[in-house]
Structure 1
């Protein structure tokens, strides 16, 4: 099994040595404390083995959508998001995609830091915005909307509800690790109602989307020839270098 961690760079494993290949060199400014990082690549599928299993950070995909791309309604946003995952599956000849999300519990040691960041962005109190229909307009202050953890949870719940009702035009299996559950949605191309089931083995209480993919990787490696974990999080990069051997992957 080959495992690649996709970020700004690609990591492969050869003869027990992790080789780091930068897609774009880091650009150092005059101040050592300030480093300009290259933008994440929009096409992550080049050079990936066919039938790889992709494990994606749900919020990273959402945040990769530029403000100019954000559609008018939540229904259109749902369609755009699913198309992005479908494109990854199609271009890499992948049959399976895992999507993992963060959790934002009410009582959490990180709440103070999150509140501090929210206040920097806006002096007004952030409130969760309910999504009632696909025709509802996306909020104009998009970045402010995403700075509220509850909004992210509600948005993913809305996505899942919409995909279960209509996933026409897509042919792949999607595992969604959301909240403390995991749902498997099988898109069958022309079928308007994908099959859905809960996956007991992938139920967990992981809060961060940097540790949860490891559970999905352990689950997926039973049948996958290769895994691709895509995330902009540096923690993910370091964590999966350390945990690579525990996945019983064959080194290439």
Structure 2
């Protein structure tokens, strides 16, 4: 699960007054996935580095309005009046993800002793991973900046641990592309849960049919035809270039 996407979807909950209230809403959404068919949930967050190839993209998305800094060191800290200004500051996002990661662990250990929650990316230590059941999660330690690629790492680890059905909860096209590329190394039943609460969709990644060449090179194709850090070629969108990729995908082998 993409933790940052969930933070954005929740926003500033109606009636919530403190960051503790926000954490309760966040936890309720995460723990709602636990049921008789799901005993493990992984939540991963983006890292917010001062120097990042995505800095320009984030500035365009968030604008340049004056942001406010608020340190979250307890559940009682009141939520800011202007949520957007708060979230526009990377230091606030990093502080919030650490707070939510800690709160998730505390609540999971207390109220979900038979289920396992694993989270990474939100702690101060770049490579730290935590399991509510104290499992050995050393193989999940990484310095990935993006939750997009951390998700694949966690999905692979779950597959290696014997999970036969993996559901990735995310609304990012990049993640779908990466999952499609890595599908052969993951569980035989791989789904992507996307859409909104009102209109939920499940994409059967395991049923996506690509030639070996296309599956091998789809990451390169997606990058050079437009992604978060690369502009698309002028006048050539995904639909147009996809037709060429289907016929000449092997030309990307060396990239």
1:151 aligns with 2:95: no
1:113 aligns with 2:57: yes
Query: Of residues 26, 29, 35 in structure 2, which corresponds to 1:81?
Result: 26
Q: Report if the CA contact (8 A) 2:12-2:22 is conserved.
A: no
- Report SS of the residue matched to 1:89: coil
TM-score by length of 2: 0.65
In the alignment, what sits opposite 1:30? none
Number of positions where the alignment pairs a residue of Structure 1 with one of Structure 2: 184
* RMSD between aligned residues: 2.3
In the alignment, what sits opposite 2:119? 176
In the alignment, what sits opposite 2:145? 207
Flag the structure with higher helix content.
Answer: 2
C-alpha displacement at 1:116, in angstroms?
Answer: 4.0
In the alignment, what sits opposite 1:247? 186
In the alignment, what sits opposite 2:163? 224
Partner Cα distance (1:198, 1:94) in 2: 20
Deviations 1:90-116 (A, max 9, x none): 3x6311000011011122222233234
- Report SS of the residue matched to 1:227: strand
Where structure 2 has 5 or more consecutive residues not aligned to the other structure, the ranges are: 190-205, 208-255
C-alpha displacement at 1:166, in angstroms?
Answer: 4.2
Q: CA 1:58/1:113 → structure 2, altered by over 3 Å: closer, same or farther?
A: same
Q: Report if the CA contact (8 A) 1:183-1:198 is conserved.
A: no
In the alignment, what sits opposite 1:134? 75
1:64 aligns with 2:9: yes
Q: CA 1:70/1:148 → structure 2, altered by over 3 Å: closer, same or farther?
A: farther
Partner Cα distance (1:113, 1:60) in 2: 16
Partner Cα distance (1:101, 1:138) in 2: 21
